[in-house]
Amino acid sequence: MVRVTTGVHAGGHEYISTAHEDQKFGLSVAPGADGGESPAFAALRAVLARPELHLLGIHSHIGSQILDPDGFEVAARVVLQLRADLAAATGVLVAEVDLGGGYGIAYLPGEVALDPERIAKDVAGAVDGIAARLGTPLPRFSIEPGRAIVGPAGLTLYTVGTVKPVVVTGSDDATFVRTYVSVDGGMSDNIRPALYGARYHAELANRVSDAAPVLARVVGKHCESGDIVVHDVELPGDVRAGDLLAVAATGAYGRSMASNYNLLPRPPVVAVLDGGTRVLVRRETVDDLLALDLG
């Protein structure tokens, strides 16, 4: 398949919006530098000219953590037009179109994830109409809803270490108290908040508290002031060392982006079902960290 950039800008942050022109992914459907054939069209022609290659189809991925489905319809329109143009020029109508993934999930209370049934119906309806207008048969469609499947399936459990109230002066010169809650992980197991400001929610997980809530910031144990797990969240005012904090929706882009920064071993992955547990990935040890050293 040939991946194309459709010019559709979608996603929660510039770093995860993957279909604009000025970035590394895909080949543009816009005219080339000389105003002629687009890089995407030239690539499709080039594949067809190589007898050892089989052009299965056209691939598009417009971004990640998308909560407005309209972008998928626009991208489908661009890709199907490109498919029709290729058929008109070469006689080859590719069999498959992959519209990628990027379906957003709920990270915070009040957020609403994209409904798969709604997306399927809306995009299918749009594709039907586009193909009919172009006079081309429908291709086989594929999608890649990775985060939507594994994101909500995982959460991260941290143990609280130090709790520190800090008096902060706001932009209006008014003061308020922010409680820093440090935990035994951080940017090594979830780099997303530090990398591009991803937002998460935390809850006290080991007990029920009737204490009045306080404005808190959950921070990691690394030597970076940007090592923040949750920027702002209300936690019980009696949160203390030894408590467990649960951070939801970390099944995607948590473990898969984890590192051993500051030589911190990565935590285990544990499956939980009906009161039972099973370790899927064991906890790293110091021996693991030293295993690649020579001499």
Look at residues 62, 59, 154 and name the one whose alpha carbon lies nearest to residue 103: 62
- The position carrying tokens 């991803």 is 198
- Answer yes or no: 223 catalytic: yes
Buried b / exposed e along 66-105 (16+ C-beta atoms within 10 A): bbebebbbbbbbbbbbbbbbbbeeeeeebeebbbbbbbbb
**Of these residues, 112, 223, 290, 292, which one is catalytic?**
223
Q: How far apart are CA 198 and CA 254, in angstroms?
A: 11
Nearest 10 degrees: Cα torsion 78, 84, 88, 91 = 130
Position of tokens 């929660």? 12
Maximum distance among all Cα pairs of the chain, rounded to whole angstroms: 71
Residues forming a β-bridge with 60: 4
Q: Which residues are registered as beta bridge partners of 166? A: 178
Rounded distance, CA 293 to CA 264, Å?
16
Sheet of 213-219: strand order equals: 202-204, 244-247, 156-169, 175-183, 213-219, 228-236
- List all residues 6 or more positions away from 141 whose beta carbon is below 8 Å from its beta carbon: 96, 97, 98, 99, 127
The pair of structure tokens assigned to 38 is: 């687009």
Question: Running DSSP on this structure, what letter comes out for residue 103?
Answer: B
Catalytic residue annotation: 223
